[in-house]
Amino acid sequence: MPFLKLESLNLHYEHQTKGDTPIIFLHGNFGSWHYWQPFLQNLPDGYCGYAPDFRGCGESQVTDNGYDIKTLSKDILAFADQLELEKFHLVGHSLGGAVAQELAGRVPERIITLTLVSPAPAEGLKSLANVSLSDSIFSAKNIFRSIDRVGLKRKLISISFRKSMPRLAQNKTFFNQALDDATKMDIKAFSGFLKTLKQWNGEHLLQRFNFPVLIMYGELDSVISLQSLKKMEQHINNCIFHTFRHVGHAPQLEQPKAFNKLLSAFIRGKNIKNITESKVANKPTGLFKKLTSKLKYFFK
């Protein structure tokens, strides 16, 4: 459980290695480095992985402020500087996707590839437009604090996770760890992340991306809209878009084998267009499977 002393906080991170080429992984809101555990345990040869916890999350120090996307990106840049990671692959999920965009736009010369997993879109999260940031009794922060006081926080987060990451519940270990991380996150981080996701816009950064970019999306994602990411793709010169079928907001946990295969191929510079979702999409499941079975029966 290594820590790195930055100027304003002690930052916790996990590290696995099978080589010298670094990959930095940035988790999302309510998360921690655990979201990258399946990939870190299966690193491709030649690479080393670094998965830090943002301030106020996981085992990292809770600070009074600094929970905006620009400051978080500066934390990660300072992290890379101290570890002497001159150039690196960068992977960001959800909130971490926004931080990754901010960092990549700030120091594009240090980015080898950028992978955005269900990221906060560059245009910002328009779904938060009506969320109150005030200190009124009905603000998101005070509602969150209230449900914690009455012991409902874990239950409500569990319901939210089952909706946004539907396949995650099939793996009890991952699901319970995700709940532990979410309930552990400090209220300062919750409030700060909500505020920065509501206010941040990174559209001006996209033109600075002079490296390969991969955007991953789960078709059942109820947090990020497909339209916003497709719009983002159009403004990036060298970008590949991949949709995971039958998964939600966290493909790296909901479908780890497919995620690991795709990310490993991308950072190695392989042609990942051959790893398409069409094979998965053509496989009937659930209600669709029953309907196709009946159609086959009638058209024998």
CB burial of 37-59 (b: ≥16 within 10 Å; e: otherwise) equals bbbbeebbeebbbbbbbbbbbbb
Confidence (pLDDT) at 258: 96
Residue 140 pLDDT: 59
Q: What average pLDDT does this structure show over 163-175?
A: 95
What average pLDDT score do residues 232-244 get? 96
- Give the pTM: 0.89
Is the pLDDT at 294 greater than 60? The verdict is no
Question: In the predicted model, is pLDDT for residue 127 greater than 90?
Answer: no
pLDDT score at 287: 47
The confidence score (pLDDT) of residue 284 equals 43
According to the model, what pLDDT value does residue 142 have?
A: 65
Fold that domain 3-298 belongs to in CATH:
Rossmann fold (3.40.50)
pLDDT attached to residue 144: 63
Check pLDDT > 80 for residue 297: no
pLDDT score, position 253: 97
Nearest to 205 by CA among 128, 92, 127: 92
Domain ranges of the chain: 3-298
User: Which residue shows structure tokens 């009455």?
Assistant: 150
List Cβ neighbours of 26 (8 Å cut-off, separation of 6 or more): 52, 54, 76, 90, 91, 92, 93, 96, 97, 99, 100
